[in-house]
Amino acid sequence: MNFKVIQEITGVILAGGRSSRYGENKALLNLGGGTVISSVRDVLSSLFPRVILSANNPEEYKFLGLKTFTDFFEDKGPLGGIHSALVNSETEKIFITTCDMPLIRAEDILFIAQNSRESDITVVSAGSRLQPLFGVYSKKLIPEIERILLDDKRKNYSVKRLLDVSDTKILETSAPGIQFTNINKKEDYQFIKSILK
């Protein structure tokens, strides 16, 4: 299936996690002759002329051939990666996804991108489960993100906190949500491999 390239948005892969629950770098697990993260890159590259990587260990991902940016705010979780991607993006908006969701579909990304023009954040909810790390974010958010990341009193650096105080659009989808499966446990990896057989 051919999709129209989305010129005005930069695709971003978040790969800043430590995979502590899994025990090894899940982004580099073998999958279909490549790796988990290369399958994510391939989907984003089919839609966006610019795809960048947010990661704090760039050397591990040189094989992807992507521009890679590290966090300005260290150890602040995915929100730190979103901030870095927004600051470094050449476009006003970015589409983010994580490095461990290899079942993502181009049609879901296109659906979100096409409905993202009038809000600062556009994310999807599938089966009543919100997917804050699969959506479009605007550079307008940078000051608010920095306020959250510098709020060491509350120490709540969750992306959900940003959604709650921003111009956020949540798109409902009737899709079962299997495409948003991410790898946290060995069973998740085995399940994804079985789907892709």
Whether residue 51 is contained in a domain is answered as: yes
Q: What is the pLDDT of residue 3?
A: 61
- CATH number, domain of 21, equals 3.90.550.10
Whether residue 97 is contained in a domain is answered as: yes
Whether residue 2 is contained in a domain is answered as: no
Which two structure tokens, joined as six digits, stand for 152? 């060491």
Q: Do residues 176 and 126 touch, judged by C-beta distance below 8 A?
A: yes
Residue 12: pLDDT band by 50, 70, 90 thresholds? very high
Whether residue 1 is contained in a domain is answered as: no
Query: Measuring CA to CA, which residue among 16, 107, 91, 99 is closest to residue 49?
Result: 91
Is 2's pLDDT higher than 90? no
Partners of 96 in beta bridges: 12, 135
Residue 159: other Cβ atoms inside 10 A: 22
Residue 22: other Cβ atoms inside 10 A: 18
Residue 20: pLDDT band by 50, 70, 90 thresholds? low
- With a pLDDT cut of 90, the percent of the chain lying above it is 80
Domain count, the chain: 1
Q: What is the pLDDT of residue 136?
A: 98
Q: If you compute the radius of gyration of the chain from its CA atoms, what whole number of angstroms results?
A: 16
Compute the mean pLDDT over every residue in the chain, rounded to the nearest whole number. 92
pLDDT tens digits for 86-107?
999 999 999 999 999 999 999 9
Is 139's pLDDT higher than 70? yes
Is 1's pLDDT higher than 60? no
What average pLDDT does the segment 52-68 reach? 95
Q: Do residues 26 and 19 touch, judged by C-beta distance below 8 A?
A: yes
Is 76's pLDDT higher than 90? yes
Query: In terms of residue numbers, what domain contains 30?
Result: 9-195
Q: Any idea what DSSP says for residue 64?
A: G
- With a pLDDT cut of 70, the percent of the chain lying above it is 95
Sign of the four-CA dihedral 126, 130, 134, 136: positive
Residue 22: pLDDT band by 50, 70, 90 thresholds? confident
Q: What is the pLDDT of residue 19?
A: 60
Whether residue 4 is contained in a domain is answered as: no
Q: What's this model's pTM, rounded to 2 decimal places? A: 0.94
Return the residue matching tokens 């999709």.
3
Q: What is the pLDDT of residue 153?
A: 83
Residue 17: pLDDT band by 50, 70, 90 thresholds? confident
What average pLDDT does the segment 16-40 reach? 87
